[in-house]
Chain A
Amino acid sequence: MSRALFYKEWIKLRLWWVLMLAAGVAFALVLFFKLRYVANANEAVTVWNAWIFKGWLFFRPFQYVPLVFGVALGLLQFLPEVQARRVRLVLHLPLGETRAIALHLAAGLLLLALALLPAALVFSLGGALWFPREWQGNLFHVLTPWLLAGAGAYLAAAAVLLETNWRHRVFYLLLAAGALRLFLLETFYDTCARILPALALWVLALVLVPLFSSHRFRKGLVR
């Protein structure tokens, strides 16, 4: 049944996922070619100096893409289910409500990761052409909070859509906005290095919220 659920989600989201993947990779390639242009138009040592001493990272315009993808995927996955009340069927599957929604979330997170990781790979491989291994460390420390923000945005979108009460939806939205803003505070490379574990733990714990919302949805709780 788990495979069937994954397949159902794949059928529902594949077109959108392909579009996201294409958009993510295309944007990453645009940034890569921009780097190529910068590297060709300037002395290599100038480009390295801009990176080392001014914190210039060519993939910085990608910052909000995971967040947008996360929200979009959450909406695309759960809005039709909630609008048509199809999610009620899912919640009554013999899998159990928690497992069924967890599988939906796993499918969504997997698709989100698969939509974003090729872009990250473009950055890593593209950067490796012009920068040494220290640069890869910067890429990891800068990109990871953005990817975590994407996962957090996806989970928050799922929680908001599965919630039955508008007041609580607004509360979740405010919580998500306040928390995810902190994931995007980085201004220089590696500034988030010391808070990464805390950010990752928070996103991990956030999985509980859509499960909680689905429980309330099934029970018909409106307060």
Chain B
Amino acid sequence: MRHAARIFLLLTGAALLAHYLPLGWHILTAGRQRVPYVYYGDTGAGFLFTRVEKAGGDTRLIHTDAAGRALERDTFESLLPLTFHAQLYKTGAMPKEIGGVAVTPGALRREQFNLRVRPDQLDTPLVPLHPVFETDNGRARLEIPPDFMRINGAAGVADAPGPGARRRAIEFLDPKTNTILPEKSALYTDAFARARFVFPVTAAGSNPTARKPYDEGIYLADAEGQVFLLRQARGRPGLVRVADHAADPAAWRALRPRHIIVNEIETRELRALIIDAGGKPWLAVGENHRLVPLPVTRYNPAADTLSLRGNLLHRLLVVQTAAAPGAAPALEAVALDRDYRVLDRHHETLPDPAARPAARAGRVLFPLAWWLAGDTSGYLGFHARVTPRDLLPAAAALNALLLAAHLLILRRNKTLAPARLPDLAATAALGLCGLLPALLLPRAG
């Protein structure tokens, strides 16, 4: 027991130090990762950037073009009239048309959108209850639905409530009474059965807010990977298989969605952003749900951030990739026309925060670091990093020094015994994080 207790204390101490010491080191030494903000010129200037430049101890914003030439702020803004329209209207420099397209404040507002997909947004705790908005409630504004839909996933139909009754596949819950609405549940269960929806739901996407111009509905992928669109009009369900109404039904049938993101914009151009089982992003656009593959060269939805911005003239796709084994963090921007054809591409490698001298020193000092809260998931989980291969000799040398010191201390205290092997192993493997608890631990006998 006492040896087990001692080893448990040693492991706990080493694990806690491997958590807190690298965290403290990071807080003391980490700098801000300066990611440039990318634009695509509205008047043929190509990619433009706002960067943070460090000059001495000071930082300042600089505006540059794709060649890296610094631009005056006024010049920069005049190249991006659709972005800085408020300033250009104020100075009277706003063009009336660009490339034959009339520019009006109403059109500017209507056509502008910004859709951003972060990894933690795709892996986050959710209560599986969906508010089903009225797509056509006869009112000027959307209203928050008075009930919530629960998808049980078991296609059972109960005619009468009772102990022997099976749950309905779809249940509507009334928050006022905290009870199931039997009629509406039956209506929706029938709609799912009629549409030949195969339970369970494998992906669902909707935008559960009333602060949007209209309601797109709820996209649901069934067990066979088929995508359905559920809408409610005046209390009646409408569930359709998207492939049956799409311009490219074969592509929809082959799609195996893992994540579906819905973000309604006033022009109703964007239907959904879909990330398939292989991590490839697709966009469903237009009235006939045309499926457009987003032309990014590297995107891992579990680690990278993707954003799609649009305006009157073009779309800009930006992917910020995190550092991966053998690949530095990078920024990829793809300018698309309004028909989602590639106009231009930009790729740049971002400075790797892990390559900074202080971060590298941290990886030598602490061969193992772990943390619970990551920026890639809404859940707490065990995330760990070990010393990279190029720093292993340095880390091993430091650990060897610490091990020698540990041996000397044990010899001086006349406590060098086989019972100390776990302590020495902890120092050899974890360096400082193993040595400190080993020295502070009580003796077992």
Task: Determine which residue in B9, B129, B146 has the highest number of CB atoms from chain A within 10 A of its CB, and name it.
Answer: B9
Chain A residue numbers with a CB within 8 Å of B5 are 208-209, 211-212
**Known contacts A189-B127, A191-B378, A212-B1; A47/B175 CB under 8 A:** yes
Number of interface residues of B (CB under 8 A): 44
Question: Are the CB atoms of B125 and A193 closer together than 8 Å?
Answer: yes
Q: B16, A179: Cβ atoms under 8 Å?
A: yes
Q: Which of A183-223 contact B (CB under 8 A)?
A: 185-186, 188-195, 198, 202, 205-206, 208-209, 211-212, 215-216, 219, 221, 223
Inside 8 A of B1's CB, which chain A residues have their CB?
98, 208, 211-212, 215
Q: A175 — which chain B residues lie within 8 A by C-beta? A: 9, 12-13, 16
Which listed residue (B2, B19, B178) contacts A130, Cβ 8 A? B178
| B144 touching A45, Cβ below 8 Å | yes
Are B127 and A163 in touch, CB under 8 angstroms?
Answer: no
Contact status B372-A209, CB under 8 Å:
no
B163 contacts chain A at the CB level, 8 A cutoff:
no
A132: Cβ under 8 A from any B Cβ = yes
With A175-B13, A191-B380, A221-B443: A205-B176 Cβ-Cβ less than 8 Å: no
Q: Note all chain A residues with C-beta closer than 8 A to B440.
A: 167-168, 171
Name the A residues within 8 Å of B4 (CB-CB).
208
**B150 interface residue per 8 A CB criterion:** yes
Given A129-B178, A209-B9, A190 contacting B125 (CB threshold 8 A)? yes
Spot the interface stretch: A49-57, A82-90, A103-111. Answer: A49-57
Shortest A9–chain B CB gap in Å is 21
Does any Cβ of A come within 8 Å of B25's Cβ? no
Main secondary structure of the interface of B (DSSP, over half): mixed
Within 8 A of B (CB), among A145-174: 163, 165, 167-168, 171
Beta-carbon contact of B178 and A132 below 8 Å: yes
The 8 Å CB contact of A165, one of B2, B8, B144, B442, is B442
Per the bound structure, the CA–CA distance linking A193 and B145 in Å amounts to 29
The interface residues of chain A, by DSSP majority, are classed as helix
Which of B2, B9, B372, B441 meets A215, CB within 8 Å?
B2
A182 part of interface (Cβ distance < 8 Å): yes
Q: Taking the nearest CB of chain B, how far is it from the CB of A139, in angstroms?
A: 12
Per-position binary interface string of chain B over residues 193-219, scored 1 when its CB falls under 8 Å from any chain A CB and 0 otherwise: 000000000000000100000000000
Choose from B12, B125, B129, B150 the contact partner of A179 (Cβ within 8 Å). Answer: B12
In the complex, the answer to whether B2 meets A186 with C-beta atoms within 8 Å is no
Query: Once the chains bind, are A48 and B175 in contact (CB under 8 Å)?
Result: yes
A211 to B284, CA, bound (A): 62
In the complex, are the beta carbons of A51 and B146 less than 8 A apart?
no
Do B127 and A223 touch across chains, with their CB atoms under 8 A apart? no
CA distance A200 to B168 in the complex (A): 36
> Is B379 positioned at the interface, with any CB of A under 8 Å from its CB?
yes
- Asked whether B20 lies within 8 Å of A134 as measured between CB atoms, the reply is no
Q: Which chain B residues lie closer than 8 Å to A167 at the CB level? A: 440
Partner of B178, one of A131, A179, A206: A131
Query: Taking A134-B127, A190-B379, A221-B442 as contacts, is the C-beta distance between A45 and B146 under 8 angstroms?
Result: yes
Cross-chain contact B372 with A182 (CB below 8 angstroms) = yes
Tell me if A48 and B12 are in contact (CB < 8 A).
no
Complex: A221 Cα to B444 Cα, angstroms:
9
Q: A184: shortest Cβ distance to chain B, in Å?
A: 11
Question: Does B173 belong to the interface (CB within 8 Å)?
Answer: yes
A114 contacts B by Cβ under 8 Å: no
- Residue from the list B131, B145, B150, B381 in contact with A194, Cβ < 8 A: B381
Q: Do B127 and A186 touch (CB < 8 A)?
A: no
Interface positions, chain A 92-150, Cβ under 8 Å from B, are 98, 128-132, 134-135, 138
**Contact call B176/A44, Cβ cutoff below 8 A:** yes
Is A61 located at the chain interface by the 8 A CB criterion?
no
Do A193 and B379 form a contact, CB below 8 Å, given A49-B144, A178-B16, A209-B5? yes
Complex A-B: 19 CB contacts under 8 Å: A45-B145, A45-B146, A45-B175, A52-B148, A135-B127, A168-B440, A171-B13, A185-B372, A185-B380, A188-B125, A188-B378, A189-B127, A191-B380, A194-B379, A195-B381, A212-B5, A216-B442, A219-B445, A223-B442
Additional A-B contacts beyond A132-B173, A190-B125 (20; CB < 8 A)? A130-B178, A163-B442, A171-B441, A175-B13, A178-B19, A185-B380, A186-B380, A192-B380, A194-B381, A195-B381, A202-B12, A205-B8, A208-B1, A209-B8, A211-B1, A212-B5, A216-B442, A219-B445, A221-B445, A223-B443
